[in-house]
Amino acid sequence: MIRPRIPVNPLPTGIVTPLITTAPTPAPVEQHHTTACACQHTAPAPALAAPVSSGTAVRLSPTGVLAVVGGGAAVVLVVGAVLVSLLLAVAITGASVAVCAVVLRSLLNNPPRQR
């Protein structure tokens, strides 16, 4: 059998990323007293809330939904009409080739006789 040869690249080309990634370790949280104390630490900064991503959701109004449905229906009708016309063209071409083949066969098998 024919065995394919796999090329060997001795040096990597491009950026090599490791397969194993480590999760970042959380920063240590400093404990604060609830009452006033003689410590020299300061109050922690308030944590910023992460922004909420809306993702890829698309919000459409009822008119927009009707436009999308109407556009989709129009595309389906146009594509269907094109495919049907192509099928009809192939069928007509096949029928005409078949008729031509029958006529040629009859002419070649029965040549006209001269008197």
- Taking the CA atoms of 56, 61, 64 and 68 in sequence, report the sign of the dihedral they define: positive
**Looking at this protein, which amino acid is placed at residue 105?**
R
**Cα-trace Rg, the chain:** 39
Q: So what's the pLDDT on residue 115?
A: 65
**Residue 52 to residue 29: CA distance in whole angstroms:** 24
Q: What does the pLDDT look like over 83-104, one tens digit per residue?
A: 999 999 999 999 999 999 999 9
Residue 29 is encoded by which pair of tokens? 């949280």
Q: What does the pLDDT look like over 27-72, one tens digit per residue?
A: 666 666 666 666 666 666 666 666 666 567 778 888 999 999 999 9
Q: At CB < 8 A and 24+ separation, what contacts does 98-105 make?
A: none
